[in-house]
């Protein structure tokens, strides 16, 4: 009977331990007014950043490869640790591009290593590798706060 009670408690509490942390945001880019981070989800093994781009003109967009010096990274504000991009969904990886028509919005996900911080920047590439003819989508001073 005691073993059954312990098993029942484990079964009831186990989903709580495995629950993902989800943060709904409206964090605007500091470098482009047409893109926002709408959600951040922290899973057991990754961090998923959902972004929404609102096109004012027709354009072709693509993310830099994760292994590129221009690929997205998450930078921990306090420790300066860098978390690498590991993939994306809903947006092409260069050299392929995604067509976005004027007036349309595109929501896509950038997937990173699992973060262990609640204050960070999401930066597209390292500044020393940037070409001034290109617009980069940077988000600074993101602070995740749990809601009660």
Give dist(CA 128, CA 125) in Å, integer: 9
pLDDT digits (tens, 9 = 90+) for 77-135: 999 999 999 999 999 999 999 999 999 999 999 999 999 999 999 999 776 666 666 77
pTM for this structure? Answer: 0.83
> Cα–Cα distances in Å, from 34 out to 37, 59, 68?
11, 12, 24
- Check pLDDT > 80 for residue 13: no
pLDDT for 27-39, tens place per residue?
A: 999 889 999 999 9
Q: Which residue has the tokens 């951040």?
A: 40
Give pairs for 104-109: CB < 8 Å, separation 24+: 104/55, 105/52, 105/53, 105/54, 105/55, 106/52, 106/53, 106/55, 106/61, 107/38, 107/50, 107/51, 107/52, 107/53, 108/50, 108/51, 108/53, 109/48, 109/49, 109/50, 109/51
């Amino acid at each position: 009977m005691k073993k059954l009670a312990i098993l029942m408690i484990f079964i009831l509490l186990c989903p709580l331990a495995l629950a993902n942390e989800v943060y709904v945001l409206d964090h605007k880019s500091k470098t482009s007014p047409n893109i926002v981070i709408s959600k951040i989800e922290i899973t057991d093994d990754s961090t998923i950043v959902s972004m929404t781009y609102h096109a004012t003109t027709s354009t072709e967009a693509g993310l830099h490869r994760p292994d590129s010096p221009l690929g997205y990274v998450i930078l921990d504000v306090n420790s300066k640790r860098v978390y690498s991009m590991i993939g994306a969904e809903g947006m092409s990886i260069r050299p392929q591009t995604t067509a976005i028509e004027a007036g349309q919005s595109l929501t896509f996900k950038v997937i990173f290593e699992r973060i262990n911080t609640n204050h960070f920047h999401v930066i597209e590439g390292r500044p020393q590798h940037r070409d001034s003819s290109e617009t980069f989508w940077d988000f600074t001073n993101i602070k995740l706060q749990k809601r009660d």
